[in-house]
């Protein structure tokens, strides 16, 4: 008796959880905002219902047995152990159910995997440990998008914001009502670019370009968040994707603004490169880059100790302290080292920033070389490269 009650209780719990999944929307998948994401959601619901139905049949049959065919109720068991007819039935019915599910799945798959060579906008997405680079080839815009959640929210108990770990410094901006084509690739290891509300998840494979697309309707302007979904090393959990969907006119002005910014930045960089920098100024900027935009700290640690041998210590490293290795030092920061996690920062940072971060590495944590690397040295290095 007690057993039966407990059995019922636990099954009721399961059924309860399961059906709450169906009815309470925050327990379920998000329908998302695009046609494909909504169709995916519908298909998901359809399968859930089918599974619930099949499950109900199987489990109810079992429970009838538990109740009516227990030894106390049914002391002499039946002696049959075979029925070809039944076996044919329960082979055929699942086949039919599966066919019923396959048809919409095939349709949706073909739709999602369509190639959109005639898209309105093309964006190249590159996964880099642990940030995304977005490039708009036709608009001449390139920027890096990385996590902007403050460290103290992660490491210490500081109050966490609503978009904790799902916020970035530079969002990907796309126009609503337009078909956008994504060219997804990676520089180092495999990443995967996922935005649940758009139902786009594509692996970023180094050496290959995968294609995906989305079309966000005009009434769905807003910000959509996702994450890298392929294990890509230490900070895989800290590599969010944020997409800002704006109207076409807002998009145009964003493009114009980005272009102005770029021109201004190029000019400022040229000026900065032309001028001579004091050590303190380099150190101040260097520290900012090291712990911010460059995210060098994420591998080499804020105190320069790294995690040898995965990520070498910079504190006391030969390269960062020996005068005759200065060139190698500049080289590894500008060009990276292929086949390792050390990416090329030559195009991610300006010459002044590169000079500053290298200076910082040569003077911080007791490296004290006193070197003040000038932006012009970086320029010269790049020119001779």
**Chain residues 86-125 in contact with another protein, contact rule CB under 8 A:** 86-87, 90-91, 94-95, 98, 101-102, 105-106, 108-110, 112-113, 115, 124
Task: Mark the segment that binds ligand HEA (CB under 6 A) among 13-21, 94-102, 278-286, 290-298.
Answer: 94-102
**Least separation, in Å, of the C-beta of 363 and ligand HEC?**
13
The C-alpha torsion from 111 through 113 and 118 to 122, rounded to 10°, is: 130
* Alpha-carbon gap, residue 65 to 71, rounded angstroms: 10
**Least separation, in Å, of the C-beta of 274 and another protein?**
34
Residue ranges binding ligand CUA (CB under 6 A)? 127, 130, 191, 228, 230-232, 236, 239
Q: Which of 13, 14, 58, 109 touches ligand HEA by CB under 6 A?
A: 58
Phi, then psi, of 225 in degrees rounded to 5: -120, 145
Task: Mark the segment that binds ligand HEC (CB under 6 A) among 1-9, 68-76, 244-252, 297-305.
Answer: 297-305
* Alpha-carbon gap, residue 197 to 220, rounded angstroms: 10
Grouping H, G, I as helix, E, B as strand and the rest as coil, residue 349 is coil
Interaction mask 145-184, another protein, x per CB under 8 A: --------xxxxx--x-xxxxx----------------x-
**Least separation, in Å, of the C-beta of 312 and ligand CUA?**
22
Phi, then psi, of 162 in degrees rounded to 5: -65, -35
* Smaller CB separation from ligand HEA, 58 or 263: 58
* Alpha-carbon gap, residue 27 to 43, rounded angstroms: 17
Q: Which of 121, 174, 320, 356 touches ligand HEC by CB under 6 A?
A: 320
Nearest to 287 by CA among 336, 373, 356, 333: 356
User: Which of ligand HEC, another protein, ligand HEA, none is residue 210 near (CB under 5 to 8 Å by kind)?
Assistant: another protein
DSSP 137-193: TTTTEEEEE-B-S-HHHHHS-PPPPTTTTS-BSS-EEEETTSEEEEEEEESSS-EEE
* Smaller CB separation from ligand CUA, 230 or 353: 230
Could you give the C-alpha distances from 359 to 149, 245, 266, 313, 373, in angstroms and in order?
A: 27, 39, 21, 16, 6
User: Which of another protein, ligand HEA, ligand CUA, none is residue 121 near (CB under 5 to 8 Å by kind)?
Assistant: none
For tokens 């073909």, name the residue. Answer: 110
Tell me if 294 contacts ligand HEC by CB under 6 A. yes
Site for ligand HEC in 6-65 (CB under 6 A): none
């Amino acid at each position: 008796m007690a057993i039966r009650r407990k059995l019922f209780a636990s099954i009721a719990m399961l059924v309860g959880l399961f059906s709450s999944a169906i009815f309470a929307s925050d327990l379920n998948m998000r329908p998302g905002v695009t046609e494909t994401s909504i169709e995916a959601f519908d298909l998901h619901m359809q399968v859930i219902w089918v599974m619930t139905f099949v499950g109900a049949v199987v489990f109810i049959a079992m429970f009838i047995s538990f109740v009516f065919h227990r030894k106390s109720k049914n002391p002499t068991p039946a002696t049959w152990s075979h029925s070809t007819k039944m076996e044919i039935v329960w082979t055929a019915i699942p086949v039919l159910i599966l066919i019923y599910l396959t048809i919409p799945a095939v349709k949706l798959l073909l739709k999602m995997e369509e190639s959109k060579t005639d898209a309105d906008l093309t964006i190249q997405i590159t996964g880099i440990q642990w940030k995304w680079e977005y490039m708009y080839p036709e608009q001449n815009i390139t920027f890096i998008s990385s996590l902007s959640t403050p460290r103290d929210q992660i490491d210490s108990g500081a109050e966490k914001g609503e978009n904790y770990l799902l916020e970035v410094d530079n969002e990907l901006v796309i126009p609503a009502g337009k078909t956008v084509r994504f060219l997804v690739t990676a520089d180092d290891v495999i990443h995967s670019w996922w935005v649940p509300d758009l139902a786009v998840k594509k692996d970023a494979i180094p050496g290959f370009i995968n294609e995906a697309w989305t079309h966000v309707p005009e009434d769905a302007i807003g910000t959509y968040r996702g994450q890298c979904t392929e294990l890509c090393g230490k900070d895989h959990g800290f590599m969010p994707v944020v997409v800002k969907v704006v109207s076409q006119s807002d998009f145009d002005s964003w493009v114009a603004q980005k272009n102005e910014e770029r021109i201004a930045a190029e000019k400022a960089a040229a000026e900065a490169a032309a001028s001579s920098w004091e050590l303190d100024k380099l150190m101040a900027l260097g520290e900012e880059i090291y712990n911010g935009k460059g995210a060098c700290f994420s591998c080499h640690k804020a105190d320069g100790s790294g995690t040898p041998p995965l990520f070498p210590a910079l504190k006391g490293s030969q390269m960062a302290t020996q005068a005759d290795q200065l060139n190698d030092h500049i080289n590894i920061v500008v060009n990276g080292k292929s086949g390792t996690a050390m990416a090329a920062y030559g195009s991610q940072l300006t010459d002044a920033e590169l000079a500053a971060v290298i200076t910082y590495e040569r003077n911080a944590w007791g490296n004290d070389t006193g070197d003040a690397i000038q932006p012009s040295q970086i320029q010269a290095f790049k020119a001779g490269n």
